[in-house]
Amino acid sequence: LKCWARRSRPVMHCLLRHGRWLDVAASPKGRAAIARAVAVMSGSATAGLLAAQSARGASAGPGASAASAVRCCGVGGGTGGAAVPGVAMGGRRGAGSLAPAAAFSGREVEKPSTDYREYRHEHLPNGMQVMVVSDERCDKAAAALSVGVGSLLDPKEVPGLAHFCEHMLFLGTKKYPQEDEYNEHLAKNGGASNAYTAESVTNYYFGVKPEALGSALDRFSQFFVSPLFTESATERELKAVDSEHSKNLQQDGWRQSQLMRDAVSPDHPLNHFMTGNSETLRDIPAKQGIDVRTALLDFHTQYYSANLMKVTLVGRETPEELLDMARSYFSAVPNRSATVPSDAEIGRGIEPFPPERLGRVVHVVPVSDIRSASFQFVMPGQKAEWRSKPTQYLAHLIGHEGKGSLLTALKCRGLATELSAGGALDEAGVHVFAVSIMLTEAGEADIGTVGDLLFAYVRLLREAGPDDRLWHEMKVLGDLGFKFRSLPDSVSTASGIAHGLQEHDPDVVLSVGSLLWEYRPEKINELSEFLCCDKLRLVLSSKAHASLCDQEERWYGTKFSDKPLDTSSRERWQVAGSFEDLALPAPNPFVPENFDLKLAAGAQPLFPERLVSTAVDIAYPQNKSVITSYFRKDEVFGLPKAACAFVLYCPFCLDSVEHRMLAELWCMAVQEELNEFSYDASCAGVSYSLQATSSGMIISFGGYDDKLPRLLTEVAGKMAGLAEVPEQTYAITRAILERNLTNAAVRSPPYSQGFMFEQCMLRRPAHRLEDRLEALKGIGREQLAGINRKLLDHCHIECLLQGNLTADESQGLIRSFLEPLGVSRPLDVLPESGSLPLPSGWTLLEREGTNPDERNGAAIVTLQVGEYGLDDKCLVDLVSQVLGQRFFDELRTKQQLGYIVSASSFGEPQGFVGLRMVVQSERPPREVLSRVRAWAEESWGFADQMTEDEFAEYRAALVSQLRERPKSLNEEFGLNWAEVASRNLDFGSQDAEANRLESLTLGDLRRFVAEKLRAAPALCTLVRPPGVAEDIEPAPPNFDRRWSPEEVEAYRKSGPWRLRDAAIRRDSAEGLARSRL
């Protein structure tokens, strides 16, 4: 995940766009990494949003300050969501703090060079601040409203009240009292919504088809005019908040963030429980005679005032028309002249970290199998320093991974595998600067030397002083990143601006996250003095600390100890010496220099086309090409950037799970060997990713086209030349891979484990995590010798190139990649892969979860409607459009089965289409399954009850979604790469589906439901919490079969697999001509 977030934006976007991220977003760190990747890809200055598949009403994640919070990515369909654990870390992701809002400056909004949109802002008569974004090309309108209040202003007696208030606003207003009116209206108009509660900001937002912006605003604005807060909804939604907290219990990010807050002085607002649960929102208030519904009303009345609100509208209307809409819908929001403290004022003069609470070491027993050290330095809040961002300078240098870096020194001594640095908290006048290090066993045993190296590097920074060259390089890269940033989608734009306006003037709200305006070396020097033992909280996490931990945190049950830092460590670190291998970063050779846009002769095709590569003919004469390539020159986004990806089909990987693990380990070794080199590239906006799959490898590149060839050539050369993996590299990569597999196998959430069980039944090739882990344990370094040739000698490659490239340049890149690899035996046919049809009727898989501390189980019902075809894909997507919100409303909002609830369609080219329903719940999985089946049986009559007008509404909403155009080169590349990687090659599939939908009728939908959906074979996967015996659960519903793992394996061996097209289309002129025939 770290690798993807840093280097593989196109592949990541492919995963996200096609809903496949669920299997890899099992951990809070993973979700944070994904959200950061999306933020980079979308170009959002202040927020990375995963709004498409989000769960309603989360609170801002641990360590996520208002400036750096990332949004949650749950599985539920519909509204709400929020920040998840994790913050922007590392040198290239260093903290960029935000400042308190000031009066309008009157200056124009600073925006990227390719941003054609018009921005206008004003204050409404009620004091609400408005910014509108007029986008004549808009195919998805959006709106967001932020309130300048968050969990820091929870009443001390009712922790979690701000978060609870956010949940409640979705559940009916005086004008629209029906609880699901808002989300049902969005579903009928191709929209979705979300919200999050951060420390100092609560943000609500939605997207909808442009024609429905006014009607959606009419419903949305009533949240802030006349919410109902009904008693029945209050009681039900409290269970949702409690379920959300239950979901977070097994996530280390939330647990350690709470420990950080508990370390603050008890009377300071930072010492609080953010999300709330049934204890804080029901039990404790009841004992104190507090009516929580009254407290909700009082909180809303006190703080939900127009003068604390910022609203953003994005639409295709003119700026004045959008401003008129804002005036029309939001002028009725009452202005109660509310006041809230800001920044250090929030602390009311209470010192957050008095001296006795610093200079301490905290031992923690984590949920995951990790060894880590987090050196957390407490310093003054940095929100006022947004123009100079001094902590970003420190984060860039300490978090650097190139030659002479702290991480390289730690790796060379076998002490660490990963390092990140940056702001972990910036609220209430407190900034926590964290240097987080993933340790090896040797590093865990020698934390003293780890500290020696860290404090030696800090001493180096102090003695060298701020470096003008380094700061200027950071500024140049920030300027370039902003100037050539892709435009974010409308929902990201609206939400990011609404949040940013709480802390910035409108003219810098887009640029504040990217640009450096002032060089203040004295401020850098001042803050470096806080990187000392007197300001330190050292958090050491390991399973081995169980015997040391004599305390238990109240809300998450984390085992920990908190003691003064021992005198010997303090003394040695205060006088840390110098190390010859530590040095400041050298000039970055990847800073781009050529930004010319390549001109094309004539109009370019709308979609990628096969590339007849003369470079390939030269490299592989006599029509023995090993590559099939596709190319599209960009004429839409106008940026000096390109993206390309190569999939290598290697029979070696399919031979056994052991061979797949050898390939995985070798791919990680290649990346580790290139890390110092590629880190500079990633800082400069040029990145790559290399990953092994069950059928081969995927290599992707992206960034400024000026420097792309150099990176591509270096990666190909390392792949060709790494015949023997060095001992140090082997130790690092083996430790990372084993840790990641162990945590995925044991600590994945129940719904994720259910997906894995399903995939291992219905996909080929597929390997269980447990089998991969077992195979890895049997691999030694000597077995990696010569693996590069076993992978590369006998393979076939397919690739896609897009962006600011000519056809000749693309051929040159292909040749630069191919020639070093030295493929000697081209494949005649691709390795076999495919999908398995379900047997008729209902099949039950019951499995025990692997996390002994997990209280939740999961139920997943997958209906396999039929083989992939255009009509069935259209109709199952339409069913999902109609029923997805209804499923969420009934099982999540009304029945309160759990926080993670979703129903959505799926379609696998050359596979099957269908409908999948997911619920993760503390209720017994069999009971949950019974309720899902009962809902389905009752809901299948929806088409018979639907009117022609309703059908037309839902159809138009889906057509509108399908016709949304990609907003960035990376998004377009991700869509096209999905077609190449799946070998479907239907680049215009969304347009084809939209066109076909327009000719389908209500009668077609009714026949589809009656003849296919009702009769569809179903796979029900239940994951029960460990230790819960089957016989204490209700009897499972009626099933045609209940399969053990052995029976599943027998079906896989005998089943009628639907195999993917394995024919090879070659790139030589003769091969291309033959493929056309």
Contact 865, 1018 (CB under 8 A): no
* Alpha-carbon distances, residue 1057 vs 84, 765, 834, 842, 1045 (angstroms): 39, 11, 6, 19, 18
Q: How far apart are CA 598 and CA 804, in angstroms?
A: 6
Task: Give buried/exposed letters for 459-485 (b at 16+ CB in 10 A, else e).
Answer: bbbeeeebbeebbebbeebbebbbbbb
Which contacts of 839-842 are long-range, i.e. CB under 8 A and separated by 24 or more positions? 839/1017, 839/1040, 839/1041, 839/1051, 840/1017, 840/1040, 841/1017, 841/1018, 841/1039, 841/1040, 841/1041, 842/1017, 842/1018, 842/1020, 842/1037, 842/1038, 842/1039, 842/1040, 842/1041
Q: How far apart are CA 235 and CA 103, in angstroms?
A: 41
Catalytic residue among 118, 136, 157, 166: 166
> Which of 401, 488, 399 is closest to 90 using CA atoms?
399
* CA angle centred on 365, ends 359 and 366, rounded to 5°: 110
Q: How far apart are CA 670 and CA 282, in angstroms?
A: 54
936 CB contacts (<8 Å, ≥6 apart)? 861, 917
Query: Does 166 participate in catalysis according to the annotation?
Result: yes
* CA angle centred on 798, ends 794 and 800, rounded to 5°: 150
Number of CB atoms found within 10 A of residue 628's CB: 25
Q: How far apart are CA 893 and CA 902, in angstroms?
A: 12
Contact 84, 32 (CB under 8 A): yes
* CA angle centred on 446, ends 444 and 451, rounded to 5°: 100
Residue found by looking up tokens 């409607």 in the block: 865
**Residue 524 identity:** I
Three-state DSSP state, 323: helix
1053's tokens: 């061996």
> Which of 68, 115, 12, 109 is closest to 486 using CA atoms?
115
667 CB contacts (<8 Å, ≥6 apart)? 690, 691, 692, 697
CA R_g for the chain:
28
Q: How far apart are CA 968 and CA 114, in angstroms?
A: 11
649's tokens: 């089909």
Q: Strand 1018-1024 vs strand 842-848: parallel, antiparallel, or unpaired? A: parallel
Q: What is the DSSP letter of 280?
A: I
> Which of 497, 628, 702, 492 is closest to 6 using CA atoms?
702
Tell me the β-bridge partners of 133. Answer: 119, 314
Environment class of 564 (CB within 10 Å of its CB; exposed 0-12, middle 13-18, buried 19+): exposed
- Give the catalytic positions in this structure: 166
